[in-house]
Amino acid sequence: MTKTGVPSLQRYAWISMAAAHVTIVLKGVAWKLTGSVGLLSDAIESFVNLAGALMALWMLSLAEQPADGF
């Protein structure tokens, strides 16, 4: 929660990163079980989603900082 009582948007970025990790693991396990190249490709593509969530977390943390006074 922020000072205004509104939940921090960073929380949602963390949830997104956790979901991306779970997705990568599940698709990786499914690929190992089936040998499907499509599942492997999808698991690798999920790393892009993880990178996007990481970038969102970084940008939200920058946005929460006070203005620099220009």
Q: What angle do CA 15, 10, 26 make, to 5 degrees?
A: 20
| Torsion on CA atoms 5, 3, 67, 63, rounded to nearest 10 | -50
Q: Which residue has the higher pLDDT, 10 or 35?
A: 35
pLDDT at 53 over 80: yes
Q: Which residue has the tokens 């969102």?
A: 56
pLDDT at 31 over 70: yes
Going by pLDDT thresholds of 50, 70 and 90, the confidence category of residue 17 is very high
This prediction's pTM: 0.76
CA 57 to chain centre: 8
Q: Is 5 helix (H, G, I), strand (E, B) or coil?
A: coil
Token output for 37: 């190249």
The domain locations on the chain are 10-63
